C-alpha cells in the first residue's frame, strides 16, 4: 500500500493536478475505507507508513501475534477434539494400548489414528487433556491387591500416571461391575506429536475397557 506523505504548503502555493492525484486521490484509494473489499478485513501495519490487508479469519478464530507471518499477526484457533475409545480387551498382566475408535469432533489440527491408536496434535503448544475411562470386570473375581493403572504418553514419553486402583478383599470388589476414572492434566507439546494411553491390570483374568459415547473418552484442547 503506497501511502505518500502530503507536502506542506505555504501561502500562494499552487495545488497541482498531479499533487491532487497523488496525495489526495491515491492516498484515499490506498487507505481505509476505500482499500477494504469485503467484510472482516483488517488493515495491518507492515512498516513505516505502510500497511497490508489481513483477510478475514475462519469462524471462531482469534487474532494472534505471530512474528513469523508477513503481517506479524494471523488468525488462530484453539485446536480441540474429543476421542471416542473402542472397546479394548485387557489381557491379564499385559500392558495394553487403549484402542481409539474415532473423533467425535475436532477443530484445528487434531486427528486420530485408529491403526496406531493415538491422537495427534499438529503443532506445538499447551494442551489440556481430560479423560474418562471405564474399566469393566466382566464378572470375574478380583483378588486382593489386584490393580488397574493407566498412563498417558506423548511421542513415547510418559506424561502422567492417570490413575491407579488397588482392590481390597474387605471392600468386596466383586460387587461392582465397572470403575470410572476421570481427571485432567496440562502438557506442553514442544512440537507436533501424538498422545496415547496404555493401561495395565493384574486382576488374574481378562477384563474389558468399555467403549461408548458416555463411557470412555479423551479430550484434547490447546489452550
Partner 1 sequence: MAYTRPPYKTFRQELNADDWNTYVRDNFEAGAPAIFTTKGDIAVASDIETAIRLPIGNDNYYLRVNTAGTAGVGWSSFEKAKMTRASNQSIANATTTTILWNSETFDNGGLANPANGRMTAPSPGIFELRSKLVILRGAQTLAAGEQMWLTLYKNGGALIHLDWYTAEVTRDSWLYMTLEGQFIDRALNAGDYYTVTLTHYIGGAVDVAHTSSFFEMERV
Would you count residue 16 as binding partner 1 (CB under 8 A)? Answer: no
Placement of cell 502422567 in the chain: 160
- Interface with partner 1 in residues 83-122 (CB under 8 A): none
Contact yes or no for 174/157 (Cβ under 8 A): no
Smallest separation (angstroms) from partner 1 to the CB of 158: 9
Contact yes or no for 129/220 (Cβ under 8 A): yes
| CA separation for the pair 148, 94 (Å, rounded) | 11
> Which one of residues 21, 50, 93, 94 is an interface residue with partner 1 (CB under 8 A)?
50
Smallest separation (angstroms) from partner 1 to the CB of 113: 25
Q: Residue count of the chain, please give it.
A: 223
Who contacts 126 (Cβ-Cβ below 8 Å, separation ≥6)?
A: 186, 187, 188, 189, 222, 223
Would you count residue 45 as binding partner 1 (CB under 8 A)? Answer: yes
Would you count residue 177 as binding partner 1 (CB under 8 A)? Answer: no
CA distances to 81, 90, 114 from 101, in Å: 13, 16, 6
The span of 65-73, 96-104, 112-120, 193-201 binding partner 1 (CB under 8 A) equals 65-73
Would you count residue 185 as binding partner 1 (CB under 8 A)? Answer: yes
Would you count residue 15 as binding partner 1 (CB under 8 A)? Answer: yes
Q: Report which of 157, 76, 77 is spatially closest to residue 118, judged by C-alpha positions.
A: 157
Strand (E) or helix (H) holding 27: helix 27-29
Q: Report which of 45, 67, 44 is spatially closest to residue 54, judged by C-alpha positions.
A: 44
| CA separation for the pair 131, 58 (Å, rounded) | 29
> Which one of residues 36, 49, 55, 91 is an interface residue with partner 1 (CB under 8 A)?
49
The span of 88-96, 156-164, 194-202, 210-218 binding partner 1 (CB under 8 A) equals 156-164
> Which one of residues 10, 37, 175, 214 is an interface residue with partner 1 (CB under 8 A)?
10
Would you count residue 176 as binding partner 1 (CB under 8 A)? Answer: no
Residue number, 38 or 67, with CB nearest to partner 1: 67
Residues making contact with partner 1 (CB under 8 A): 1, 3, 5-13, 15, 23-24, 27, 30-32, 42-51, 62-68, 70-73, 76, 126, 128, 144-145, 147, 160-161, 163-164, 166-171, 183-186, 188, 223
Amino acid at each position: 500500500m503506497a501511502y505518500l506523505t502530503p507536502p506542506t504548503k505555504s501561502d500562494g502555493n499552487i495545488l497541482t493536478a498531479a499533487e491532487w492525484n497523488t496525495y489526495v486521490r491515491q492516498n484515499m484509494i490506498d487507505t481505509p475505507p476505500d482499500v477494504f473489499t469485503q467484510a472482516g478485513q483488517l488493515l495491518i501495519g507492515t512498516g513505516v507508513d505502510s500497511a497490508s490487508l489481513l483477510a478475514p479469519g475462519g469462524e471462531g478464530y482469534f487474532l494472534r501475534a505471530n512474528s513469523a507471518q508477513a503481517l506479524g499477526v494471523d488468525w488462530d484457533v484453539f485446536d480441540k477434539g474429543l476421542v471416542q475409545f473402542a472397546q479394548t480387551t485387557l489381557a491379564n498382566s499385559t500392558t495394553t494400548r487403549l484402542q481409539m475408535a474415532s473423533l467425535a469432533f475436532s477443530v484445528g489440527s487434531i486427528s486420530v489414528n485408529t491403526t496406531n491408536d493415538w491422537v495427534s496434535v499438529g503443532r506445538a503448544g499447551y494442551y489440556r487433556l481430560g479423560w474418562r475411562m471405564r474399566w469393566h470386570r466382566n464378572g470375574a473375581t478380583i483378588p486382593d491387591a489386584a490393580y488397574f493403572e493407566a498412563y498417558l504418553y506423548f511421542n513415547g514419553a510418559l506424561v502422567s500416571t492417570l490413575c491407579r486402583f488397588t482392590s481390597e478383599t474387605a471392600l468386596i470388589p466383586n460387587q461392582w461391575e465397572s470403575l470410572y476414572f476421570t481427571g485432567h492434566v496440562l502438557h506442553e507439546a514442544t512440537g507436533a506429536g501424538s498422545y496415547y494411553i496404555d493401561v495395565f491390570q493384574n486382576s488374574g483374568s481378562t477384563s474389558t475397557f468399555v467403549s461408548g459415547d458416555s463411557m470412555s473418552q479423551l479430550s484434547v484442547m490447546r489452550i
